[in-house]
Amino acid sequence: MDTNHRSDPEIEAIRRSASLARKVVFVSGNFNIVHPGHVRLLRFASECGDFLVVGVSAQGTPGTMLSEDDRLEAVRSISVVDHALILRESPEAFIARLRPDVVVKGKEHESRKNAEQAAVDAYGGKLLFGSGESIYSSLDLIHHELRDIPVSSIRKPVDFLKRHGFSFDELRATVSRFKGARVLVVGDLIVDEYINCQPLGMSQEDPTIVVSPVSSERFIGGAGIVAAHASGLGAEVTYFTVAGDDATAVFAQEKLTDYGVRAEILSDESRPTTLKQRFRAGGKTMLRVSHLRQHDISHEVSDRMMTAIRARIPHTDLLIFSDFNYGCLPQVLVDGIIEDCLRHGVMMVADSQSSSQVGDVSRFKHMCLLTPTEREARLAVRDFNSGLVVLAEALREKSHARNIVITLGADGLMANAAMEGGTELFTDQLPAFNLAPKDTAGAGDSFLTCSSLALATGADLWQSIYLGSVAAACQVARVGNIPLEASDVVLELSDRRLSRER
């Protein structure tokens, strides 16, 4: 770092702290809510030099929503940040005085005009643009309420409630409104089979692990478990799907009936009912085997389904598309359902899981909520470089969705929503609530179901995704797709459980 600049207390403090550093890096921004995209950018910046300085925009800067002190504290809590300050001048003016070796901005700024470029050119610095690469470690965010050793594996951050102005009492009241909500679920039926095995050792003939099956259990999966979750949470549920003419379909029909779901399963003899087997030993899955067909259902079956769904839509409060890209939801059927829902004012939400390069969640237009994983969002907009906020906004524009929630596995989620009464977007994040999940397979389905039910019964997005996160935490605490019940969520929000969060 060049030290030939006028004396200034802030600059001098940075100089003293960075005296042994070879390269100083500077990043600036509003940092309303420190979300995973920010963490990636800051981690990228920290790898570009030896001492990372972050400028947080002062109160009143366009786009700032929270107090400057709260935003500064959040940035300082990130371990890769060496020095953070409130920026009371333009970034380029501060850069001209600090003269850092490297200035880093988000990848989305690369094709734009950047005022910082002239500032770094004046003294021979560099302006770099951080990538939005999707491989990264767990979030390095430190919140005071997460520092204590947890009593249970589920921890619920209370700062989020304060930030968005709601309480646990309101969340419990929202769950009580689920009862009687009329839900229509459409999507692929899957049956999951867990085969528990006793490991015997390594084969002497070839390098193969040998196990002996001990027991097996089948669960409803796919869109079927979404319907079962909705029923368990108190809704009146009708479920439309397609299955083969086989024993697996019979099992699914009986199980869904037991769960209180009115299941309309159309038979298609050209495709067996999708069965996914998981061979497990020692609490871990060793091998997965999928028995399935992925071709689109026939026009005749699609027309029959559309006719049946059209008759139900006027009597529906919420329609959930749960798509696994196994051919149950051809585009003509999706478009027809959306058109009818728009005509009758029915709220729609969607999730489209992509197990390969196949899948495009943006084909579900005009949804109130889309909940893709980061990979699914990137596949939909064909963008594998931009940061998470840019990614969410691109998906929103392409799909015309109101709210985008990008799920990030062990790192929780990032939500991107339009502010009430305007076009300005607001981004926030939640960590994963369950610190020791036993089976993560059902997290997305339980999150989608509970969040969308909350939206449909009057909660705002922030309350809805909080409830969805509680539901997901409850679901991953057990092995297998067992439907949630309202009592599971309410218990986790009870006064006895909440005493652990304070």
CA-based angle 144:150:152, to the nearest 5? 140
> Looking at the structure, do residues 18 and 95 belong to the same domain, yes or no?
yes
> Looking at the structure, do residues 76 and 20 belong to the same domain, yes or no?
yes
Quote the pLDDT of residue 144: 32
Structural domain contains residue 282? yes
Burial of 194 from C-beta contacts in 10 A (0-12 / 13-18 / 19+): buried
> Looking at the structure, do residues 13 and 136 belong to the same domain, yes or no?
yes
Span 351-388, pLDDT tens digits = 998 765 567 999 999 999 999 999 999 999 999 888 88
Mean pLDDT of 23-45: 86
Quote the pLDDT of residue 300: 94
Quote the pLDDT of residue 417: 82
Q: Which of 98-102, 110-114, 188-192 has the lowest mean pLDDT?
A: 110-114
> Looking at the structure, do residues 135 and 183 belong to the same domain, yes or no?
no
pTM recorded for the entire structure: 0.77
Mean pLDDT of 403-420: 87
> Looking at the structure, do residues 186 and 309 belong to the same domain, yes or no?
yes
Last residue of a domain, one of 299, 320, 341: 320
The number of C-alpha atoms within 13 Å of 294 and in the hemisphere containing its C-beta is: 9
Q: Which two tokens stand for residue 211?
A: 């196990």
Quote the pLDDT of residue 394: 93
Structural domain contains residue 248? yes
To the nearest whole number, what is the mean pLDDT of the chain?
A: 87
Span 228-239, pLDDT tens digits = 999 999 999 999
pLDDT at 151 over 50: no
> Looking at the structure, do residues 75 and 14 belong to the same domain, yes or no?
yes
Sign of CA dihedral 146, 72, 98, 113: positive
438: DSSP letter: S
SS3 350: strand
103 sits in which H/E element? strand 102-106
SS3 388: helix
> Looking at the structure, do residues 132 and 16 belong to the same domain, yes or no?
yes
pLDDT at 473 over 70: yes
372 sits in which H/E element? none
Structural domain contains residue 393? no
419: DSSP letter: P
Quick one: three-class SS letters along 160-202? HHHHHCCCHHHHHHHHHCCCCCEEEEEECEEEEEEEEEEEEEE
> Looking at the structure, do residues 135 and 241 belong to the same domain, yes or no?
no
Structural domain contains residue 405? no
The whole domain housing 303 covers 179-320
- Please give the backbone phi and psi of residue 204, each rounded to the nearest 5 degrees, phi first: -80, -20
Instruction: Give the total number of structural domains in the chain.
Output: 2
pLDDT at 18 over 90: no
314: DSSP letter: G
pLDDT at 133 over 70: no
- Which of 53-67, 89-103, 349-363 holds the top average pLDDT? 89-103
Last residue of a domain, one of 115, 142, 169: 142
Is 205 or 54 the better-scoring residue by pLDDT? 54
CATH code (residue 49): 3.40.50.620
CATH code (residue 226): 3.40.1190.20
> Looking at the structure, do residues 183 and 237 belong to the same domain, yes or no?
yes
Residue 24 makes CB contacts below 8 A (sequence gap 6+) with 1, 14, 18, 49, 50, 51, 53, 98, 100, 101, 102
Burial of 357 from C-beta contacts in 10 A (0-12 / 13-18 / 19+): exposed
Give the C-alpha separation, 481 to 443, whole Å.
10
Quote the pLDDT of residue 262: 97
Structural domain contains residue 264? yes
pLDDT at 135 over 50: no
> Looking at the structure, do residues 199 and 256 belong to the same domain, yes or no?
yes
- According to DSSP, the residues that pair with 369 across neighbouring strands are 349, 403
Per-residue confidence band for 290, with pLDDT thresholds at 50, 70 and 90: confident
Is 187 or 202 the better-scoring residue by pLDDT? 187
Number of H helices, E strands in the chain: 17, 18
Mean pLDDT of 52-81: 88
> Looking at the structure, do residues 22 and 107 belong to the same domain, yes or no?
yes
Q: Which two tokens stand for residue 217?
A: 């259990």
Mean pLDDT of 21-36: 85
Structural domain contains residue 73? yes
Structural domain contains residue 470? no
Quote the pLDDT of residue 148: 34
Q: Which two tokens stand for residue 436?
A: 């020791």
Structural domain contains residue 69? yes
> Could you give the dihedral angle defined by the CA atoms of residues 378, 384, 385 and 386, in that order, rounded to the nearest 10 degrees?
-10
Mean pLDDT of 45-54: 91
Is 357 or 147 the better-scoring residue by pLDDT? 357
Task: Give the other-Cβ count within 10 Å of 405's Cβ.
Answer: 28
Mean pLDDT of 436-463: 93
> Looking at the structure, do residues 298 and 184 belong to the same domain, yes or no?
yes
Last residue of a domain, one of 258, 289, 320: 320
